Structure 1
Amino acid sequence: MSDAPLDLLALDWPHGALRVSPVGAMLADLVFHLPDGPFAPFARPHWSPDDPSLGALPAHLRHLGAEFVCLPFGVGGKLDAIAPGWGGFGLERCNDLPHGLAANATWSVEEQDADHIRLTLDYPADHAVRRLTRTLAVRPGAPALDLELAIDVRRATRLPIGLHPILSLDVPTETLRLQARFRRGLTYPASVPGGAMRVAIGRDFTSLATVPARAGDVIDLACLPKAAPMEDVLQLCDIEGAVEAVFAERRAVLSLDWDRNLLPSCLLWISDRALAGAPWGGRYRGLGIEPIASCFDFAEPVSLADNPIASAGTPTCLAATPERPTVLRYSLAARPLPGA
């Protein structure tokens, strides 16, 4: 890992190294030390956050770290080909700030020592959220990182919320295998921007290996990346156990585990060389594996409504009360690929 800029916070331990940016409290860089060498599983932007050509992009897109928190989760925007049953929910509405203040504001550094960094973010006085506290702690004896988000609210409220790790798809074709168990999978209920959607619109599935394809038949999305560019979004509802990404070429496995009682779903954002505008430039290769309590990446009012996911029994928001903070715990851990 190269020397970090002065504005990044650093932690190094025998099993890895990380860098955190106060902007969005983003985990900007993370490398695990495995027996076969360094393992850096996360996507990195090929642009500079200071590039003037990026215009008025929100901060989370300017910096686009390896992992960050979104509250309220969601972006929204104009959509075409909305699936039957999804009209009338305002899918075209937008959050005032894509993915919320948490992903775009500059957090305060409250504490840093040899094994953890703690940052806080105060929300505006009229917001239901009072403060977020984010802690990133290394496991001294393992290639693993334990993270915690404490949500302190002023009044009882419901919040669409998500975590946003982004893995690198800059690996040989179909050498990254996803392992995820879930009750119900859904393809995006509209046409995904980018013109490279590979899955059918508004369909259910039960295995990533057999996702309904836009061209007919099915597509195996348990094996990535594909040879051709693609841009797709899927929601896996009622996740069971950790989600794992097996990097065959790097002979390593990344495991993402979290409190599924609070975040019952996982959004998969497959963004591989399909987005041509700034900052993507047809070059970005990322796989978002995003634990959420949300309805896809739609704007906050959609997740708070009785949308088709919520009405089928999977919560699309998190309930919080002022009596005590709601604490969300999750982890990122690496290990060698068995038999490697």
Structure 2
Amino acid sequence: MPQVPLSPATPTPKANPSQHRWHLANQFCDLDVFATGAAMHHVRFHLPNGKTVSPLAEASWHETPLDNVAPHIQNIGGEWPCVPFGTTGHDRHHHGYGSDRAWQLIDIDTSSLRLGIDYPTGHVVKRLERTIRLAPDRPEIECGLYIYVNEDCALPIGLHPIFRLPQEEGAFDIAPGAHGQVMTAPQDIAPRDSLLGAHEVISDSGQARRKDGQSSNIWRQTAQLGEEIIAIFDSHGKMSLNYAQEGFRANLCWDARDFPHCLIWIANPGLRAISPAPHFQGIGIEPVNSYFDRNDMTPAGMAKAGVALVAGQAWSCHYRLSCEAVENTNS
């Protein structure tokens, strides 16, 4: 096991509170937490076999301010919570006010912290709190999200980790776990650079029809696609990403009662339509309680998605991100 120095868990000094960062570390993991979005970044897992691996994608332009982009696009990559998720009438911010504003530190030590943010007066959401804790005995991060609302409501809620997407053949595949129907985005939501047909049902084996009449397997040929949005309905709460050439597997686990579906955002590259720096590659594996990222488009006959929230009662969820070593079968 490599020896990892335990850096003091104090904020990086910045004049602007939105630029504050905190560092957490133990012998199994180290990461940064940005005040904006309470987002985890620069996550590194230190595996028992001596390898250090980084499963999450990071944009190349974090330190170069972009014009006319939302803060969560400026900081795109890593992982953060979205309340409400996507585009809704409750919030002018795509993925919610908390995605684009600085959170405040509540409590911290070397391997865990708690952050909070108050939403604006008049918003249906009153306050969010988020915990991040490094497991003391294994390469795993344990996260918690707590939502307080001003009135009873149902809101789409989601998590937004973005993993790296290797381009080499055989370097990457997805093990989606048990799930129901898988479908590409409707035409009104599909990115302009999508290579897949709109509103197509994907086969049980992962075969998806492309616009050019060919097909690709979304689990094994992900890097052959463009910018795609795919929904996995009735997911059972676990997705694994295999980085075969690097010898590790990343696992994301959550409670399917909180997030019954999972959205996949393939950015290969992504953000061309909204960012002046479009060369961002990654794959979002996003547990959600929503219909894609536009709940107003829920089709007739499908139960309206969203988490039932009650004023005066905190709603909470917990989820885990971990890495494990696997044999490199390509070596």
- TM-score under structure 1 length normalisation: 0.85
Does the 8 Å CA contact 1:169/1:224 hold for their aligned counterparts? Answer: no
Distance 2:276 2:235 in 1: 30
Selected match of 1:15 from 28, 31, 44: 28
1:60 and 2:72 are equivalent in the alignment: yes
Selected match of 1:100 from 73, 77, 96: 96
Cα distance change of structure 1 residues 241 and 100 upon mapping to structure 2, 3 Å threshold: closer
Distance 2:270 2:127 in 1: 37
Runs of 5+ consecutive residues of structure 2 not aligned to the other structure: 14-19
Selected match of 1:126 from 101, 122, 125: 122
Structure 1 residues 223-259: Cα deviation after superposition (integer angstroms, max 9, x where no partner): 14435x6111000010024110011111101110111
Match of 2:216 in 1: 219
Cα displacement (A) at 1:33: 0.5
Does the 8 Å CA contact 1:200/1:213 hold for their aligned counterparts? Answer: yes
Does the 8 Å CA contact 1:23/1:104 hold for their aligned counterparts? Answer: yes
Cα distance change of structure 1 residues 274 and 12 upon mapping to structure 2, 3 Å threshold: closer
Distance 2:70 2:270 in 1: 20
Distance 2:274 2:161 in 1: 21
Match of 1:110 in 2: 106
Distance 1:31 1:220 in 2: 29
Cα distance change of structure 1 residues 208 and 74 upon mapping to structure 2, 3 Å threshold: farther
1:252 and 2:248 are equivalent in the alignment: yes
Distance 2:195 2:170 in 1: 15
Higher relative contact order (CA 8 A, sep 6+): 1
Distance 1:41 1:224 in 2: 18
Match of 1:329 in 2: 318
Selected match of 2:235 from 236, 239, 253: 239
Cα distance change of structure 1 residues 317 and 5 upon mapping to structure 2, 3 Å threshold: same
Match of 1:161 in 2: 157
Cα displacement (A) at 1:279: 3.9
RMSD of aligned Cα (Å): 2.6
Match of 1:185 in 2: 182
Please list, as runs of the form range in 1=range in 2, the aligned pairs for 1:304-319 lying within 5 A after superposition: 307-308=298-299, 311-313=301-303, 315-319=304-308
The secondary structure found in structure 2 opposite 1:102 is helix
Cα displacement (A) at 1:277: 5.8
The secondary structure found in structure 1 opposite 2:246 is coil
One-letter amino acid of the structure 1 residue matched with residue 58 of structure 2:
R
Distance 1:226 1:331 in 2: 25
Does the 8 Å CA contact 1:187/1:199 hold for their aligned counterparts? Answer: yes
The secondary structure found in structure 1 opposite 2:287 is strand
Cα distance change of structure 1 residues 156 and 23 upon mapping to structure 2, 3 Å threshold: same
Match of 2:16 in 1: none
1:73 and 2:85 are equivalent in the alignment: yes
When the two structures are aligned, how many residues end up with a matched partner? 314
Does the 8 Å CA contact 1:132/1:152 hold for their aligned counterparts? Answer: yes
The secondary structure found in structure 1 opposite 2:206 is helix
Runs of 5+ consecutive residues of structure 1 not aligned to the other structure: 77-92
The secondary structure found in structure 2 opposite 1:249 is helix
Cα distance change of structure 1 residues 283 and 50 upon mapping to structure 2, 3 Å threshold: closer
Cα distance change of structure 1 residues 94 and 185 upon mapping to structure 2, 3 Å threshold: farther
The secondary structure found in structure 2 opposite 1:99 is coil
Cα displacement (A) at 1:48: 3.0
Query: % of aligned pairs identical?
Result: 25
Does the 8 Å CA contact 1:231/1:271 hold for their aligned counterparts? Answer: yes
Distance 1:274 1:129 in 2: 29
Distance 1:164 1:30 in 2: 14
Match of 1:31 in 2: 44
1:209 and 2:206 are equivalent in the alignment: yes
Cα distance change of structure 1 residues 262 and 194 upon mapping to structure 2, 3 Å threshold: closer
The secondary structure found in structure 2 opposite 1:105 is coil
Does the 8 Å CA contact 2:111/2:134 hold for their aligned counterparts? Answer: yes
One-letter amino acid of the structure 2 residue matched with residue 17 of structure 1:
D
Distance 1:278 1:323 in 2: 37
Structure 1 residues 147-180: Cα deviation after superposition (integer angstroms, max 9, x where no partner): 0001112221111111000001144234211111
Cα distance change of structure 1 residues 177 and 170 upon mapping to structure 2, 3 Å threshold: closer
Distance 2:200 2:43 in 1: 35
The secondary structure found in structure 1 opposite 2:99 is helix
